Amino acid sequence: MPDTFEDHCWKDIVSGEILEIYRAYRRDTYIGKRPALLAIDLYNLVFAGGPRPVHEVVKEFPSSCGIYAWEAIRPIQELFTLIRSAGMPVVYTTAEGRREMRPDRVRSTHRRVRAADEHAYDIRQEFAPEAEDLIIYKERPSAFFGTPLIAHLRGLEVDSLIVCGETTSGCVRATVVDAYSFGFHTVVVEECCFDRSLLSHKVNLFDLHHKYADVLHLEEVRQHLQRIGKGIETNTGRERR
Amino acid sequence: MPDTFEDHCWKDIVSGEILEIYRAYRRDTYIGKRPALLAIDLYNLVFAGGPRPVHEVVKEFPSSCGIYAWEAIRPIQELFTLIRSAGMPVVYTTAEGRREMRPDRVRSTHRRVRAADEHAYDIRQEFAPEAEDLIIYKERPSAFFGTPLIAHLRGLEVDSLIVCGETTSGCVRATVVDAYSFGFHTVVVEECCFDRSLLSHKVNLFDLHHKYADVLHLEEVRQHLQRIGKGIETNTGRERR
Amino acid sequence: MPDTFEDHCWKDIVSGEILEIYRAYRRDTYIGKRPALLAIDLYNLVFAGGPRPVHEVVKEFPSSCGIYAWEAIRPIQELFTLIRSAGMPVVYTTAEGRREMRPDRVRSTHRRVRAADEHAYDIRQEFAPEAEDLIIYKERPSAFFGTPLIAHLRGLEVDSLIVCGETTSGCVRATVVDAYSFGFHTVVVEECCFDRSLLSHKVNLFDLHHKYADVLHLEEVRQHLQRIGKGIETNTGRERR
Amino acid sequence: MPDTFEDHCWKDIVSGEILEIYRAYRRDTYIGKRPALLAIDLYNLVFAGGPRPVHEVVKEFPSSCGIYAWEAIRPIQELFTLIRSAGMPVVYTTAEGRREMRPDRVRSTHRRVRAADEHAYDIRQEFAPEAEDLIIYKERPSAFFGTPLIAHLRGLEVDSLIVCGETTSGCVRATVVDAYSFGFHTVVVEECCFDRSLLSHKVNLFDLHHKYADVLHLEEVRQHLQRIGKGIETNTGRERR
């Protein structure tokens, strides 16, 4: 097998010396036995302003990820198709919107937010939830903090996660670190995550890949799932751990 | 007051365009009313191999932070002196070492670790704990995960944290995100944190500063504490929230 | 001071021998410095069927507490008046009702529940929330489990709780044990809690009072709050700990 | 199948009227698919003073459960034999003893405790841990609170718990409620749990059985495990849920 462990978007900013330092983190990557898709904060507001550069759209929409959000739509749709074809559970997160839960007091970052219209935190139509799906409303960055997610994952008999959404350096990272801590094997799909800054996007994927999760390309996920579908791969990763 | 919000170690890698995108995170920084010092993983092993470049020392000691660890010793000592003079509580974390708690199964990252000698996870002598201090033994990156830290902080009537230690992109980041989520105002002292890679160190401080914490220089912490000592500053940050 | 530590509703079922065994739990009781009222599950459904014996109303309404719920209305109203007069924060819990959060899968007990009308989990009008109050929607018995309550209490600078609601042996007990574990001093107001069974009500109050909380009569709470209002009592309990 | 749902130690104190009220909790009981044994606080101190009435031994040993502890030794030994024969994971809890973790400040109940000798919190020899077992040191009543237990259970791929130990109204109850909340099917073995007071023992088992767990007799556990061993029972309970 060719060594693809470092064949990712961070290649152009991570030096050979750094890769040398991170040799002790190298290992085979895999998808768990009973994964769920966890789609983080794919709500309308993050697409606000259209597919334009982030530094332009944030002037009007400080919560938007602009062009990076729009470029991820197609890959995320493909990921949803793969997951739904495999019959795996789908879990979404979005922001708590009920005023009496005081989301104004307990927020996901220090960012100043503007009053949003009533559909700002609805999941964008391209990824619309289906009847069996679970939606987790959260006030903090991690999908696990202050939510019953852990109980739902236990009830669904899920042992691993496949993560997409935004932002890589915010809610995605916080969620993946918690998933690791709770003991879930976690895959982060590179083309299906995005951020406001490419620098933070790349370095956070680098950190997650080495310390806590397997960052895979969408194409790798597709191949893993196909091999599982054909019974070629048991994909548990148990032997390798 | 001059605008010092972005006057930090990440200046050389974060572009003006990115700073523009992050304007919505700008705010005044401060130290909380009743802070505790939280010193993360300042154990012997991270200094192993001496003050040499990390890519050299990791060949023999994959857990070492080499020169970056050694350069932080003096600033951390100064921070401890400031905190102890102010009579603030001191909390340490280190790795769980009791074999029957199976730290081999539940670990803080995917990094392969080698058998360590029995004092590898003792706090380094320059920062030796005193009788009243609290030590939290942990298996995961965050000082809050799988530990009774939150109960001790409540018992100590602490409302905020001042954080130092390592690594910036690992246990420091995971801990600070959890501290934010639990509702503690958190200060990260720039010169008193370190990592194996400068790139991850800088970008993680950048992320933390904008989203979850106030990254302050040691000199700023000194001035804040002096003003508090003289009653000039109430430093609560309450009005500003 | 007369010994009133055991002067509670459990007197008629707890023997002198048991009281002897529990001597090591005796201590002074008090109200914390910055308490919040935590009103647990005072929703319409628990009053369904009117003020009749529980074994009658449960035939039609398995979730009702019948007469015990109705007898608590007046004392709970008085407690709310005391708390609101003192300007203390008020927090409610009720059941999660959003279908996409799948409360059908993650429930507060093994009890079979029937389809409820859309206002079943609204707070009963006698205790209607005001604009500044916080409502926590939960799926499990404890108000802390799977909710952001701990973050809100930190933000409100609350250090202790005054608890009322139902059921004593269910959500009240689970919440009070968690409050104790997180480090909050907790008062449970005897006349303002209720259950479906007097036996479980009494034994659970007995357990909570000795191990985890101070069970006070409403009259004791009134007197504590009056003395605090007049500055006679500092009521911190700090010296006594 | 004869109706044995209420055939338990609480029969002599729970009236027919109460049983009528609790009809909505009746269901089939079972053992999960991949259970672990969770043995709570079976340390030396709880047996101190020998097999004498509790109100006598507590004069000298306030933490002892006296005769009730001693009567449970044989059943617990039998339970351990059953579990170890089936190759199931074994997890113990005991009290945190490291002084620097300040167990004097964060305790499991309000009970005053005396200085204990250095082996007070060692697991009693009849149930001595083996090399593969996990021991969880805790400061609060629940085995989940402030410990990494949840991560270890995930790593062990455990989906359910079989619980024994003490006290029924203290650490056993708090742990079982948390296990329920996290989504683990939980069996409590009646003869293998004990308390200082029979009243609290019985009412807490009653509460747990109806709301959160399946209280089984040791003999029922033996029969379940035999049927599973012979492949007669799949024992998942999935269909029944």
- ipTM, 2 dp: 0.95
* Structure confidence at residue B52 (pLDDT): 98
- Does the pLDDT value for residue C109 go beyond 90? yes
**Facing residue for C102 by CB, picked from A134, A145, A146:** A134
Angstrom distance (rounded) from CA B216 to CA A96: 31
Buried b (16+ CB within 10 A) or exposed e, D133-150: bbbbbbbbbbbbbbbbbb
Whether chain B has a CB inside 8 Å of the CB on D97: the answer is no
Whether chain A has a CB inside 8 Å of the CB on C140: the answer is yes
> How far, CA to CA in Å, does B74 sit from each of A120, B31, B192, B219?
49, 22, 9, 13
Q: Could you tell me how many CB contacts below 8 A there are between chain A and chain D? A: 27
Q: Do B181 and C152 touch (CB under 8 A)?
A: no
Beta bridge partners of A185: A160
ω into residue B167 within 30 of 0, thus cis?
yes
Lay out the sheet containing A160-166: strands in order across.
Answer: A134-138, A90-95, A35-40, A160-166, A185-194, A214-216
What residues of chain D lie within 8 A of the CB of C196, using their CB?
21-22
Angstrom distance (rounded) from CA D30 to CA D237: 6
Q: Do A134 and C98 touch (CB under 8 A)?
A: no
pLDDT in tens, A138-168: 999 999 999 999 999 999 999 999 999 999 9
Beta bridge partners of A194: A166
Element (H, E) at B35: strand B35-40
Q: Do D182 and A152 touch (CB under 8 A)?
A: no
**Facing residue for D181 by CB, picked from C13, C141, C170:** C141
**Radius of gyration of chain B from its Cα atoms, rounded to whole angstroms:** 18
Residue C163: how many CA atoms within 13 Å on its side-chain side? 34
Q: Are B170 and B127 in contact (CB under 8 A)?
A: no
A-chain residue closest to D178, CA distance = A151
| Nearest-neighbour CA in chain C from D200: distance (Å) | 7
Q: Do B151 and D148 touch (CB under 8 A)?
A: no
Find the range with the poorest average confidence among B130-144, C96-110, C173-187, D71-85.
C96-110
Q: Are B89 and B156 in contact (CB under 8 A)?
A: yes
B-chain residue closest to A57, CA distance = B21
Whether chain A has a CB inside 8 Å of the CB on B20: the answer is yes
CB atoms within 10 A of CB C241: 11
pLDDT more than 70, % of chain B: 95
Lay out the sheet containing C160-166: strands in order across.
Answer: C134-138, C90-95, C35-40, C160-166, C185-194, C214-216
Position A203: which residue type?
Answer: V
Q: Which among B150, B154, B238, B239 is the top mutation candidate for probing chain C, defined by the most C β-carbons within 10 Å of its own β-carbon?
A: B154
Angstrom distance (rounded) from CA A102 to CA A93: 18
- Does the pLDDT value for residue B238 go beyond 70? no
Whether chain D has a CB inside 8 Å of the CB on C181: the answer is yes
- Reported in sequence order, the residue ranges of chain C that DSSP labels E, i.e. its strands, are 35-40, 90-95, 134-138, 160-166, 185-194, 214-216
Dihedral (Cα; B71, B94, B43, D132), 10-degree rounding: -140
Q: Are A199 and A12 in contact (CB under 8 A)?
A: no
| Nearest-neighbour CA in chain C from D21: distance (Å) | 5
Angstrom distance (rounded) from CA C35 to CA C184: 9
pLDDT classification of B97: cutoffs 50, 70, 90? confident
Which of the other chains make 3 or more beta carbon contacts under 8 angstroms with chain C?
A, B, D
Cα–Cα nearest to D80, from D44, D88, D156: D88
Angstrom distance (rounded) from CA B184 to CA D72: 45
First-to-last alpha carbon distance for chain B, in angstroms, is 18
| Nearest-neighbour CA in chain B from A60: distance (Å) | 11
DSSP of chain A = ----TT-SGGGGTS-HHHHHHGGGG-------SSEEEEEE--BGGGGTT-SS-HHHHHHH-TT--HHHHHHHHHHHHHHHHHHHHTT--EEEEEE---GGG-TTTS-SSS-------TTTTSBPGGG---TT-EEEEESSSSSSTTSSHHHHHHHTT--EEEEEEE-IIIIIHHHHHHHHHHT-EEEEEEEEEE-S-HHHHHHHHHHHHHHT-EEE-HHHHHHHHHHHHTTS-----TTT-
> How far, CA to CA in Å, does B217 sit from each of A6, B7, B35, B205, B233?
34, 9, 17, 12, 18
| Phi, psi of C172, deg, nearest 5 | -65, -50
Whether chain C has a CB inside 8 Å of the CB on D190: the answer is no
- Does the pLDDT value for residue B171 go beyond 60? yes
Q: Are A63 and A41 in contact (CB under 8 A)?
A: no
Q: Do D98 and B134 touch (CB under 8 A)?
A: no
What residues of chain D lie within 8 A of the CB of C22, using their CB?
196-197
Token pair for B150 = 């939150």
Q: Do D55 and C196 touch (CB under 8 A)?
A: no
Angstrom distance (rounded) from CA D193 to CA D42: 10
Q: Angle, to 10 degrees, between the axis of helix C198-211 and the axis of helix D198-211?
A: 110
What residues of chain D lie within 8 A of the CB of C111, using their CB?
24-25, 210-211
Q: Is A237 exposed, middle or buried (0-12, 13-18, 19+ CB in 10 A)?
A: middle
The predicted model gives D72-83 an average pLDDT of 98
CB atoms within 10 A of CB A126: 12
* Structure confidence at residue C229 (pLDDT): 80
Whether chain D has a CB inside 8 Å of the CB on A154: the answer is yes
C-chain residue closest to B149, CA distance = C182
pLDDT in tens, A25-57: 999 999 999 999 999 999 999 999 999 999 999
Q: Which among D134, D159, D180, D182 is the top mutation candidate for probing chain A, defined by the most A β-carbons within 10 Å of its own β-carbon?
A: D182
Element (H, E) at B181: helix B173-182
Q: Are strands A160-166 and A185-194 parallel, antiparallel or unpaired?
A: parallel
* Structure confidence at residue B10 (pLDDT): 98
Q: Which among D98, D99, D101 is the top mutation candidate for probing chain B, defined by the most B β-carbons within 10 Å of its own β-carbon?
A: D101
The predicted model gives C50-77 an average pLDDT of 97
What residues of chain D lie within 8 A of the CB of C200, using their CB?
203, 206-207
Cα–Cα nearest to B24, from A170, A221, C14, C89: A170
Q: Do B112 and A17 touch (CB under 8 A)?
A: no
B-chain residue closest to C153, CA distance = B183
What residues of chain C lie within 8 A of the CB of A150, using their CB?
146
Angstrom distance (rounded) from CA D172 to CA D195: 10
Angstrom distance (rounded) from CA C21 to CA D170: 15
ω into residue B175 within 30 of 0, thus cis?
no
Cα–Cα nearest to C173, from B79, D177, B107: D177
The predicted model gives C141-163 an average pLDDT of 98
Say which residues have a Cβ less than 8 Å from residue A42's Cβ, sequence separation at least 6: A76, A92, A94, A123, A124, A127, A164, A165, A166
Tell me the pTM: 0.96
Q: Is A157 exposed, middle or buried (0-12, 13-18, 19+ CB in 10 A)?
A: middle
Angstrom distance (rounded) from CA B214 to CA B9: 14
Q: Do C136 and A98 touch (CB under 8 A)?
A: no
- Name the DSSP letter for residue B49: T
Q: Do C183 and B152 touch (CB under 8 A)?
A: yes
- Give me the residues of D, 217-236, that contact C with CB < 8 A: none
Computed from CA positions of residues B137, B138, B143, B149, in that sequence, does the dihedral angle turn out positive or negative?
A: negative
**Facing residue for D210 by CB, picked from C17, C110, C211:** C110
Angstrom distance (rounded) from CA C156 to CA B181: 14
Q: Do A154 and D181 touch (CB under 8 A)?
A: no
* Structure confidence at residue A233 (pLDDT): 67
Most confident of B111-125, C4-18, D92-106: C4-18
**Facing residue for A154 by CB, picked from D151, D155, D183:** D183
ω into residue C175 within 30 of 0, thus cis?
no
* Structure confidence at residue B2 (pLDDT): 58
Whether chain B has a CB inside 8 Å of the CB on A147: the answer is no
DSSP of A119-153 = TTTSBPGGG---TT-EEEEESSSSSSTTSSHHHHH
Computed from CA positions of residues B149, B150, B153, B155, in that sequence, does the dihedral angle turn out positive or negative?
A: negative
Say which residues have a Cβ less than 8 Å from residue A85's Cβ, sequence separation at least 6: none
Q: Do A112 and B197 touch (CB under 8 A)?
A: no
* Phi-psi group of C157: left, alpha or beta (phi > 0 → left; psi -120 to 50 → alpha; rest → beta): left
Whether chain B has a CB inside 8 Å of the CB on A61: the answer is no
Q: Do D154 and A181 touch (CB under 8 A)?
A: no
Angstrom distance (rounded) from CA B193 to CA B171: 11
Q: Is D32 exposed, middle or buried (0-12, 13-18, 19+ CB in 10 A)?
A: buried
Q: Are D132 and D142 in contact (CB under 8 A)?
A: no
B-chain residue closest to C238, CA distance = B155
A-chain residue closest to B26, CA distance = A111
* Structure confidence at residue D90 (pLDDT): 98
Q: Do D211 and C170 touch (CB under 8 A)?
A: yes
Beta bridge partners of B90: B37
Q: Are D145 and D116 in contact (CB under 8 A)?
A: no
pLDDT classification of C2: cutoffs 50, 70, 90? low
- Give me the residues of D, 104-133, that contact C with CB < 8 A: 106, 109-113
The predicted model gives B95-112 an average pLDDT of 90
Whether chain C has a CB inside 8 Å of the CB on B33: the answer is no
Q: Do C183 and B151 touch (CB under 8 A)?
A: yes
> How far, CA to CA in Å, does D12 sit from each of B195, C73, C75, C207, D206?
64, 32, 33, 20, 12
pLDDT in tens, A60-86: 999 999 999 999 999 999 999 999 999
CB atoms within 10 A of CB A229: 12
Whether chain B has a CB inside 8 Å of the CB on C34: the answer is no
What residues of chain B lie within 8 A of the CB of A169, using their CB?
207, 211
The predicted model gives D44-51 an average pLDDT of 97
Q: Are strands A185-194 and A90-95 parallel, antiparallel or unpaired?
A: unpaired
pLDDT classification of B241: cutoffs 50, 70, 90? very low
| Phi, psi of A197, deg, nearest 5 | -125, 130
| Nearest-neighbour CA in chain D from C190: distance (Å) | 18
Whether chain A has a CB inside 8 Å of the CB on D180: the answer is no
Q: Could you tell me how many CB contacts below 8 A there are between chain B and chain D? A: 67
Cα–Cα nearest to A105, from A139, A65, A71: A139
pLDDT classification of A2: cutoffs 50, 70, 90? low
Q: Do B154 and C181 touch (CB under 8 A)?
A: no
Q: Do D154 and A184 touch (CB under 8 A)?
A: yes
CB atoms within 10 A of CB C59: 13
